[in-house]
Amino acid sequence: RIDGERLWSSLMEMARIGPSPMGGSRRLALSEDDVAGRRLLLAWTDALGCEWRSDQAGNLFIRRPGRDDSLAPIAVGSHLDTQPLGGRFDGVLGVLAGLEVFRTLHDQGITTERPLELIVWTNEEGSRFSPAMGGSGVYSGRLSLETFREAKDRAGISLGEALDDSGFKGSLTRRDLPLGAYLELHIEQGPVLERKGLPLGVVTGVQGLRWYDLEFVGESAHAGPTPMGFRHDPLMAATAFVEAMRETVLADPEGASRLTVGDFQVTEPSRNVIPGKVTLHVDVRHTDEDQLTVLDGQLRAHVAAAAGRESVEAQVKELWHMPVTRFDTTLVNDLSAAARAVGHEPFTMMSGAGHDAVNISYVAPTAMLFIPCRDGISHNEREYAEPEHCTIATQVMCDALLRAAER
């Protein structure tokens, strides 16, 4: 049995490092507070006799030896960095659940066949340095070390510089640190489990995502004397696109298509001037890769039609394509069996957001476990998860880890 109270008090203690004004956390990747958070974790794992190593991306690998250390370890982990006004659970729960598993095994004097590894991935949030999921990206080979290190924050400091200063830069790579399996516990960051009244969800994969910059370029002109029929209005092309794309997404009979326009910028805006240029940031997602491809085509067609309606030029730039991820069936079954063992019929679901587990799934068997978060809110100081859900999920992680570590 894991100790839910000990887990909760660790969560609350970690949250006091880089506290944010409204009771959340602010530990931007590789900032002093992020470093202090890692140091606190290492003090806890040192007390368990665990040693740690780090790779070129500063990812931490904290080892609990097994009976046969020649076997690839079973890993558990997540991230300790947060958004600027972040919560106390996003990432942290996955790491501290792993700590609680280590503590429980330590207390009970259990040694697993395979070694265990508790991992803290560097810069998952992507808030101080872009892109997100960077440390796991480098580890898995899906992001180059150069690109990872070159990213700069607003003050012009590169991730590479911050990493060199952090004391966590290592020289190891995945070759030195192979994984036998990877399990990650995370808050859902959405409303599904809460609305269904479920304490946990077994995550079978992650929906795919495509990020676009759309640019509509027309002709700036005076709002007063320019008749509607003489205009080349890029703003009305942009609104036409959003409405059309929204209808397409809502028409999905499975309700699995998602569209978000996160930004809508007018260049040199003025109250009585028809805009000359408008830029949109668009995020499209689907749980089925073929459907995501269909959405890509529909997006391009809607952009062309909208631009045509307003006689403006348009450009579609795809910035990121994260294909649909399918997690490892054996690990999903381990999590399901462990859930059943604590009395919860497993509910399987796709993750809406990307996680480090997406990158790791390309190089090792991977699966995730979700718990609800209040109102589905994350990336927010109000983010909250019930102690009871944290406890149940950590127990499930513990049991699944033990299963995998004996194989």
The whole-angstrom separation of Cα 173 and Cα 175 is 5
Q: Whose structure tokens read 């911050």? A: 162
Which phi and psi (to 5°) does residue 138 adopt? Answer: -65, -45
Q: Name the segment binding ligand URP (CB under 6 A); options: 68-76, 109-117, 169-177, 350-358.
A: 350-358
Least separation, in Å, of the C-beta of 189 and ligand URP? Answer: 6
Per-residue burial over 379-405, b if 16 or more Cβ lie within 10 Å, else e, is bbbebbbeeebbbbbbbbbbbbbbbbb
Which of the ranges 162-170, 295-303, 348-356, 386-394 carries the binding residues for ligand URP, by CB under 6 A?
Answer: 348-356
Question: What angle, 0 to 180 degrees and rounded to 10, lies between the N-to-C axes of helices 289-310 and 234-250?
Answer: 150
Q: Compare residues 87 and 98 and give the one whose CB is closer to ligand URP.
A: 87
As measured in angstroms, the least distance from the Cβ of 307 to a copy of itself is 15
Provide the 10 A C-beta neighbour count for residue 165: 13
Residue 230 interacts with which of a copy of itself, ligand URP, none, CB < 5 to 8 Å by class: a copy of itself
User: Contact with ligand URP (CB under 6 A): which of 160, 354, 365, 372?
Assistant: 354
Binding to ligand URP (CB under 6 A) within 100-139 occurs at 132
Tell me whether residue 65 or residue 131 sits nearer to ligand URP (CB atom). Answer: 131
Q: How far is the CB of 126 from ligand URP (least distance, A)?
A: 7
Per DSSP, what are the bridge partners of residue 64? Answer: 116
Q: Cis (ω within 30 of 0) for the bond into 131?
A: yes
Cβ 358 vs Cβ 79: under 8 Å: no
Residue closer to ligand URP, measured from CB, 77 or 115: 77
Of ligand URP, a copy of itself, none, which one does residue 172 interact with (CB within 5 to 8 Å by kind)?
none
Closer of 4 and 323 to a copy of itself (Cβ): 323
Q: How far is the CB of 355 from ligand URP (least distance, A)?
A: 6
d(CA 370, CA 145): 30
Q: Return d(Cα 31, Cα 21) in angstroms, integer.
A: 17
Helix (H, G, I), strand (E, B) or coil at 365: coil
**Residue 192 CA from chain centroid, whole number:** 17
Say how far apart CA 275 and CA 265 lie, in whole Å.
10
φ/ψ (deg, to 5) at 234: -70, -25
Instruction: Please tell me whether residue 71 binds ligand URP under the rule CB under 6 A.
Output: no
Phi, psi of 128 (to 5 degrees): -75, -40
Query: Site residues (CB under 8 A) for a copy of itself?
Result: 188-192, 195, 207, 209, 211, 220-230, 233, 235-236, 238-240, 242-243, 246, 249-250, 255, 257-266, 269-275, 278, 281, 283, 285, 351-354, 376-380
Of a copy of itself, ligand URP, none, which one sits near residue 180, judging by CB under 5 to 8 A according to partner kind?
none
Nearer to ligand URP, 33 or 124 (CB): 124
Q: Which does 79 bind (CB under 5 to 8 A by kind): a copy of itself, ligand URP, none?
A: none
Chain residues binding ligand URP by CB under 6 A are 132, 224, 272, 353-355
